[in-house]
A and B are shown apart, each in its own frame.
Chain A
């Protein structure tokens, strides 16, 4: 057998053996890992929607949506994860809307705003203003821009307005 053929065969064989081995490991671990991820997701959702039993992933207009269901498969609401250009960089946040179309939670996951200024978007005082705002309201009337951090807070308010429109169109008429 020529040398190059032997080299190629050894290499291919090594690849196949490695692949089979990893497939085995993966099959063994898959269930545990998925189960844990599910529990983690449900724990996050439980904060906004008590009694959550399952959820379904969806994607709409570039936003990630988790449709949340209770024990009897009743629709509880939706958790939207989206990003919005802030003052210095993208702000990633979650908005939880219940089935009546009211905001039940807002949480900033990631931001690069100036810590002492734009950082207010993480403060409960700012976030709690959103609670109870309905899809029939105009968000900018219910929530005040924080002076000094206009750009960061304005970005969130405008974005929430948009997200609420999407939620109303896509999910509230179910």
Chain B
């Protein structure tokens, strides 16, 4: 695969991971990460909606004046998120209950806007799609790891299956909001340590190309 495309995906997962590096999109992350299955669903929906939003936006981009770029994008994302919500209501009402208000709140998620403003509105379609794919994967990885830790230690089970046996005393706090914040803080620290140690944050192509694909450089 083209190295620019790989870089685009790579950047979303590592140096511009929305959760660990940008601290964005924390609302759905904290809200639905108590159980692995709901976390995974949220991650996949997040990625899917983000890609569709970007695709539609990129196709329409030429006709949208800069002044109304953001409002039009809100309409696109709100329409898509509501559609997903209705589809879940029809096919997976249980999952929809689990995701609750956080699903609809995706419509105004700052990660969506950041990627459109910073990347999609200045780059070719194909690259912006791979960029949001990377960002979506970065978010999914973060929420799956966090939800896995919270469910495992908070209930002693994973995907509903008992792991530690009857003698394990679950850390109930992890299922609640304070536990989510603490676990997320520790996870962020750990992720950043790992990223630094293995030099996953280097972003050579962008610097070479000098076009500033990074949010920090723009």
Contact = CB atoms under 8 A, between A and B. Distances in A.
Contact of A22 (B68, B83, B90): B83
Given A15-B75, A29-B89, A3 B83 contact: no
A36 B75 CA distance: 29
A22 B93 contact: no
B166 to A, nearest CB: 22
B154 to A, nearest CB: 19
B78 A18 contact: yes
Contact of A21 (B63, B79, B87, B89): B79
A38 interface: no
Contact of B68 (A11, A21, A33): A11
Nearest to B79: A18
A14 B72 contact: yes
Query: How many B residues are at the interface, by size bracket?
Result: 10 to 19
B86 interface: yes
Contacts of A29: 86-87, 89-90
A10 B78 contact: no
Interface in A72-119: none
Contacts of A36: 93
Interface string B105-116: 000000000000
A140 interface: no
Interface of B: 63-65, 67-68, 71-72, 75-76, 78-79, 82-83, 86-87, 89-90, 93
Interface of A: 3-4, 6-8, 10-11, 14-15, 18, 21-22, 25-26, 29, 32-33, 36
21 contacts: A3-B65, A3-B67, A4-B67, A7-B65, A7-B67, A10-B64, A10-B65, A11-B68, A11-B71, A11-B72, A11-B75, A14-B71, A14-B75, A15-B75, A21-B83, A22-B79, A22-B82, A29-B89, A32-B90, A33-B86, A33-B90
